[in-house]
Amino acid sequence: MNEQTIYREQYVASGAESIEIPAEAYDLFGGADINSLELDEGFRLLGQGIGQGLGGYFKQAALPAVSALMVVLLCGMAETMFPERERTMKVLPLVGTLAITAAVCGDLFALVGSGRSAVETLSTFSKSLLATLAATGAAVGAPGGASARYLAAIVFSDALITVIDRVLIPALMAYVLVCVADAAIGGDTLGGLAKFLKTAVVTVLTLIITGFTIYLTVSGIVAGGADALTIKATKTVISNTVPVVGGAIADASETVIASTRLVKNTTGVVGILALAAIAVGSFLRLGVRYLVLKTVGAVSPLAGGGRLGKLIENLAGAFGILLGMIAASALMALIAVVAMISL
């Protein structure tokens, strides 16, 4: 029995073969087979894919940003040309607010849906990946540590999705509406509430990630103490037999464990690359929109649109909040995968 046969049988038995890598993960690698890539080569291809797609992301972000800027310019022109028309001046900020909301929020709400889908994809993929990594981690002599880390990853991942679904996305919607209402009313009436909502979302995400990392570390240390006993059993059997048989058993044990470790590490590398590819598409879509809108918001006061410029900046913040949710999901999955590989 050669090493390739051993690897192949373990690859199938550990469930690594049945891990489905989402289609969007392949797109960024330019058609290369992720399963055969080294980590550095994978990141290089990913970087190339990002570079090629970056222009498209900027084009997609341009339309709502340019529309918003046009609204600011038109409102600024109207203020300059018709300052004596009091009724028009009262209604103008409200009209400008509604126009900017229509230009930007349609795009935002569509991205909330795709962001939610990205979070779910990350969670589903990482669960099947972690089951394989945990099984192989247990097989190389760390069953306690593997089981503890796997359970922590599953529970926290599901908790994060539930919190994003039930609390954070409604909070994000509320933030957007509060910002719009604040711009419509004027006087920074609801500015404090908007800031609070934004801070609350960021704080919740930070707490979940921090809590997960601490729990993962502590449970891994506690469970790892019992794992040493498992390896001792094999060594006891080997030491109590004649050299030839003991040598054969030791050889078999080392070969199988080494091959299992190889399955774990290669599956882990594929998993890291796939997770990065799933997350980076959403990162770029949201990140580019955030930057472009922030820029538009920053230059709006130059066109006389102070209040509308602030609205645009706040809406850019909404893209940032959504980016934070996806980043938290991706980071949690990545931390779990790295913790499993290190067993």
Query: Angle CA(19)–CA(24)–CA(26) in degrees, nearest 5?
Result: 70
Determine, following the binding rule CB under 8 A, whether residue 166 of this chain makes contact with another protein.
yes
Q: For residues 32 and 25, give the distance between their C-alpha atoms in angstroms, rounded to a whole number.
A: 11
Quote the CA–CA distance of 261 and 277 in Å, as a whole number: 24
Residue (18 or 80) nearer to another protein, CB: 18
Name the one range near another protein by CB under 8 A: 39-47, 79-87, 186-194, 313-321: 186-194
Closer residue to another protein (CB): 177 or 338: 177
Residue 80 is a binding residue for another protein (CB under 8 A): no
Nearest-approach distance from CB 46 to another protein, in angstroms: 28
Which of 108, 169, 278, 296 touches another protein by CB under 8 A? 169
The distance of closest approach from Cβ of residue 44 to another protein in the complex, given in angstroms and rounded to an integer, is 32
Q: In whole angstroms, what is the distance from residue 199 CA to residue 135 CA?
A: 39
What residues contact residue 63 under an 8 Å CB cut-off, 6+ apart? 107
* Cα–Cα distance, 26 to 342 (Å, whole number): 26
**Please, which residues have CB within 8 angstroms of residue 174's CB and are 6 or more apart in sequence?**
197
CB 132 within 8 A of CB 15: yes
Task: Provide, rounded to whole angstroms, the least separation between the CB of residue 294 and another protein.
Answer: 23
Q: How far is the CB of 54 from another protein (least distance, A)?
A: 31
Q: What does the alpha-carbon distance between residue 243 and residue 234 come to, in Å, rounded to a whole number?
A: 15
* Least CB distance to another protein at residue 75 (A): 18
Which amino acid would we find at residue 2?
Answer: N
- Show contacts with another protein in window 220-259 (CB under 8 A): 233-234, 236-238, 241-242, 244-245, 247-249, 251-253, 255-256
Least distance to another protein from the beta carbon of 130, Å?
A: 8
Look at the block and give the residue holding tokens 């609205």.
311
> Is 170 exposed, middle or buried, given 0-12, 13-18 or 19+ CB atoms closer than 10 A?
exposed
Place of tokens 């590490």: 265
Q: How many residues bind another protein (CB under 8 A)?
A: 64
Q: 175 vs 99, 192, 283, CA distance in Å?
A: 18, 11, 20
Annotate each residue in 30-69 with x if it binds another protein (CB under 8 A) or - if it does not, as one string: ----------------------------------------
Single out the residue of 320, 324, 296, 304 nearest to residue 108, CA to CA: 320
Task: Quote the Cα angle for 230-260-127, to 5°.
Answer: 95
Site for another protein in 124-143 (CB under 8 A): 127, 131-132, 134-136, 138-139, 143
Shortest Cβ 30–another protein spacing (Å): 32
Question: Which parts of 145-164 interact with another protein (CB under 8 A)?
Answer: 147, 150-151, 154-155, 158-159, 161-163
Cβ atoms of 327 and 119 within 8 Å: the answer is: no
Instruction: Report the residue from 50, 73, 78, 173 that binds another protein according to the rule CB under 8 A.
Output: 173
Single-letter residue type at 159: A
The minimum distance between CB 36 and another protein, in angstroms, equals 22
Q: Which residues bind another protein (CB under 8 A)?
A: 1, 6, 9-10, 12-15, 94, 127, 131-132, 134-136, 138-139, 143, 147, 150-151, 154-155, 158-159, 161-163, 165-167, 169-171, 173-174, 177-178, 180-181, 184-185, 189-190, 193, 197, 233-234, 236-238, 241-242, 244-245, 247-249, 251-253, 255-256, 260
